[in-house]
Amino acid sequence: MSSPTERSLVLIKPDAVRRGLLGEILSRFESKGLVIEALELRTMDGSLADAHYAEHVDKAFYPPLKDFMTSGPLAALILSGDSAVEVVRSMIGATDGRKAAAGTIRGDLALSNRENLVHASDSPESAERELALWFPKF
């Protein structure tokens, strides 16, 4: 049985760009067989941060998260492939890099629950919402 092709919105966060990990993280997704449909280096502004993280804006961790996410360029991409949403989430690992399993991107490369290198849509519905925010023409 084949799975449906899906699209996921992925952000390779400012910490990854600053640390020179953009190539390594992109390479992991490419090696898995996911297709990069769009890729853009851009700096998130405050209003896009509030819209993207709408479910978190009232949480205590949001102000420092917003400062971090708007602190410099990130890579925004559309990844597609069979079950892409679930596959990408399993590749990036648990939110907290200290607890993420070895072999995942965060488990291998992150030591923080804020500066955790990658964001990826957590469901096909979130992907549609996030793709419309970041790539309205796609």
Task: Name the DSSP class of 63.
Answer: H
| Selected binder of ligand CMP within 42, 43, 61, 133 (CB under 6 A) | 61
Amino acid present at 30:
E
Contact indicator for 9, 121 with CB cutoff of 8 Å: yes
List of residues 6+ apart from 79 with CB closer than 8 A: 7, 8, 10, 29, 34, 35, 36, 37, 88
81 vs 121 by CB, closer to ligand CMP: 121
CB of 92 vs ligand CMP, minimal distance in Å:
8
* Residue 119 a catalytic site member: yes
71 vs 95 by CB, closer to ligand CMP: 95
Q: Give the binding site for ligand CMP (CB under 6 A).
A: 56, 61, 65, 95, 113-114, 116, 119
Q: Which residues are catalytic?
A: 119
